[in-house]
Amino acid sequence: MPASEVMNPNPTTLKPTDTIECAAKCIMDNRYRNIPVVDENFCYLGMFGVNFLLKQVIPKSVFIDKGLKNVSFIHESLEDLYQRFDEIKNQPISMFLNNEVPPVSPDTPLTETLLQLYETRSSIAVVEKGTCKLLGMISYWDVGEKMLNVVGRPHA
């Protein structure tokens, strides 16, 4: 079975010009982990996700290479976290796209797709071969739902 058969062909998308605040609202409203970002031609540019938002509200010195490993002495409030978010919320998401999770093509075998899903712990974009056009998204839920629906179906 190829990846195209388990993908959601109508995923929610973001534009590169969307602000971080707008993207955060979309993520929170829908409980998404990652949302694909596409340009006006529906060309896939990368992902924007909840992990980025989490990173922005934690002190920067934690995330730099050889940075703080022990943060047990920092006691912050929700207001402190919001202040950090407030400083970046109006910036466009185009500057912070995640390209660490490579997209798959529609004919990628299901097992390979699932392995990538497992290893990256992120929803995966399905992009047309030879172009950058976004065809759909594959999440844990898409695969799980389709797999569970097999039960009770007559064998082919």
Partner 1 sequence: MHSAAQPDMIFGFSPVWFAGGLFVLTYVLIVTERLNRAVIAMMAAVLMIVSGVLTQQSAMQGVDINTIGLLTGMMIIVGITRESGVFQYLAIRSAKLVKADPWGILVMLVLVTAFLSALLDNVTTVLLIAPITLLIADTLKLSAYPYLFAEIFAANIGGTATLIGDPPNIMIASATGLTYNDFLFNLAPIAIFILLVTLVPFYFIWGRHLKAEPRLINKVMQYRELDAIKDWLLLKKSLFVLGLVMVGFIVGHDYGLQPATIALFGASLLLVLHIFPHNQEKQTEMVSRALGEVEWITIFFFIGLFILVYGVESTGLLEMLAHQVIEFTGGDKTVTAISIMFVSAVASSIVDNIPFVATMIPLIKNMAASFGGAEELIPIWWSLALGACLGGNGSLVGASANLIVAGFAERSGQPIHFLPFMLMAFPLMLLSVLISSIYVYFRYF
Q: What's the rounded Cα separation, in Å, for the pair 127 and 48? A: 16
Please identify, using beta-carbon distances, which residue of 57 and 143 lies nearer to partner 1: 57
Contact letters (x/-) for partner 1, 96-135, by CB under 8 A? Answer: ----------------------------------------
From candidates 31, 75, 153, 155, binder to partner 1 by CB under 8 A? 75
Q: Which stretch binds partner 1 (CB under 8 A): 2-10, 34-42, 62-70, 137-145?
A: 62-70
From candidates 5, 25, 54, 59, binder to partner 1 by CB under 8 A? 59
- Give φ, ψ of 8 to 5 degrees: -95, 115
Q: Is residue 78 close enough to count as binding partner 1 by CB under 8 A?
A: no
From candidates 10, 30, 61, 149, binder to partner 1 by CB under 8 A? 61
Q: Is residue 67 close enough to count as binding partner 1 by CB under 8 A?
A: yes
Please identify, using beta-carbon distances, which residue of 9 and 59 lies nearer to partner 1: 59
Q: Which stretch binds partner 1 (CB under 8 A): 70-78, 103-111, 114-122, 147-155?
A: 70-78
Q: Read out DSSP for the chain?
A: -BGGGTSBSS---B-TTSBHHHHHHHHHHHT-SEEEEE-TT-BEEEEEEHHHHHHHTS-GGGTSTT--S--TT----HHHHHHHHHHHTTSBGGGG-B-SS--B-TTSBHHHHHHHHHHH-S-EEEE-TTS-BEEEEE-HHHHHHHHHHTTTPPP-
Q: What's the rounded Cα separation, in Å, for the pair 24 and 31? A: 10
From candidates 10, 31, 40, 73, binder to partner 1 by CB under 8 A? 73
Contacting residues toward partner 1, per CB under 8 A = 59-61, 64-68, 70, 72-75, 80
